[in-house]
Amino acid sequence: MNVIKLIVLLASLTGLLLVVGYFIAKGRGVLIAMIIALVMNFGGYWYSDSIVLRMYDARPVTRTEAPVLYDVVGALASKAKIPTPKIYIISKESPNAFATGRNEDHAAVALTTGILKILNKDELEGVIAHELSHIKNKDILIGTMAATIATAVVLLSRWAMFFGAGEEGSTIGTIAVAIVAPVAATVIQMAISRSREYDADAGSARVSGKPEALASALAKLSQAATIRPMDANPSTAHMFIVNPLSGGTIMNLFSTHPPLEKRIERLMKMKTEKEVKYEYR
């Protein structure tokens, strides 16, 4: 996704937030919505990493505890030309991983204990390279901004149901906005996250040089996550390499991840065409 499209999508989310604010309290509501957006984005920028890591009880690991993992992350970070991020482990059997942080110098990669058990070394490299690509592409900051604005939209939409304007004819409009706005925010967030996943998959293939390894890892992770879904907060689902939520939930109708089959198809096409030479600019 190019920068212009990304700006348009983030602007759409912000505009949606302001619309909800207007239906709650006209001009004053717009001002309140702007203040909420600023506060949430400020907090998201500076504290998103610590918040989400604490949310999943992630603990930092040292090189002494996990020397092989440290070597893999360090070597791939060097290839991607970014500082080596901090490494965290989440004590969950559901296999998954995500990256967080506000920039390359303040980033972390978190992996569940389950993912370390089911992937071989090549597959693990593919997953880690995927997360490093998110860091390199500034996806973690973009995702945080989208998530915080979308969360504000949902919260204000709920308030609209109780504090909507009382003028004649306005109640129906307020209720309509309260119902439609959260769905619209989810759709916009999906558009941002899905494109970012494709880009991170491609970045992983180019850094590791093994697109087929990531394809194999994705197939394993998706199947295992379906059998043993993680008790994850839906607002953070877009951060994980595969959807951590159960395949039986309504959330999958609005999944922030692109179809697994298409991700694997793209990776295998890269292998076939030998498109693995890559330099970050």
DSSP string, 86-111: EEEEE--SS--EEEEEEETTEEEEEE
Mean pLDDT of 24-43: 76
Q: What's the length of the chain? A: 281
* The pTM of the whole model exceeds 0.85: no
Given a cut of 50, whether residue 183 has pLDDT beyond it is: yes
Find the domain containing 117 and state its range. Answer: 3-273
Rounded-to-10 torsion of CA 244, 249, 251, 254 = 100
How far apart (Å, rounded) are the C-alpha atoms in residues 153 and 24?
12
Strand partners, 111: 89, 97
For residue 280, tell me if it sits in a domain: no
- Find the largest Cα–Cα distance for the chain: 68
**pLDDT band with cut points at 50, 70 and 90 for residue 170:** low
- The amino acid that residue 59 corresponds to is R
Instruction: Identify which of 25-29, 157-161, 260-264 has the greatest average pLDDT.
Output: 260-264
Residue, of 50 and 241, whose pLDDT is higher? 241
What is the gyration radius of the CA atoms in the chain, in angstroms? Answer: 20
Residue 256 DSSP one-character state: S
For residue 281, tell me if it sits in a domain: no
Active-site residue, from 93, 104, 125, 131? 131
Instruction: Determine the pLDDT at residue 178.
Output: 66
**pLDDT band with cut points at 50, 70 and 90 for residue 57:** very high
How far apart (Å, rounded) are the C-alpha atoms in residues 186 and 17?
12
Per-state percent for the chain, helix, strand, coil, to nearest 5: 70, 10, 25
Supply 205's token pair: 């293939």
Instruction: Determine the pLDDT at residue 207.
Output: 94
How far apart (Å, rounded) are the C-alpha atoms in residues 142 and 134?
10
For residue 278, tell me if it sits in a domain: no
What is the rounded average pLDDT for all residues in the chain? 81
Given a cut of 80, whether residue 278 has pLDDT beyond it is: no
User: Total domain count for the chain?
Assistant: 1
Residue, of 119 and 150, whose pLDDT is higher? 119
Residue, of 153 and 269, whose pLDDT is higher? 269
**pLDDT band with cut points at 50, 70 and 90 for residue 157:** confident
Instruction: Identify which of 178-187, 192-201, 253-262 has the greatest average pLDDT.
Output: 192-201
131 is an active site residue? yes
Instruction: Identify which of 2-11, 31-40, 171-180 has the greatest average pLDDT.
Output: 31-40
Instruction: Determine the pLDDT at residue 250.
Output: 46
Instruction: Identify which of 61-65, 124-128, 173-177 has the greatest average pLDDT.
Output: 124-128
Given a cut of 50, whether residue 280 has pLDDT beyond it is: no
Instruction: Determine the pLDDT at residue 166.
Output: 47
Given a cut of 50, whether residue 44 has pLDDT beyond it is: yes
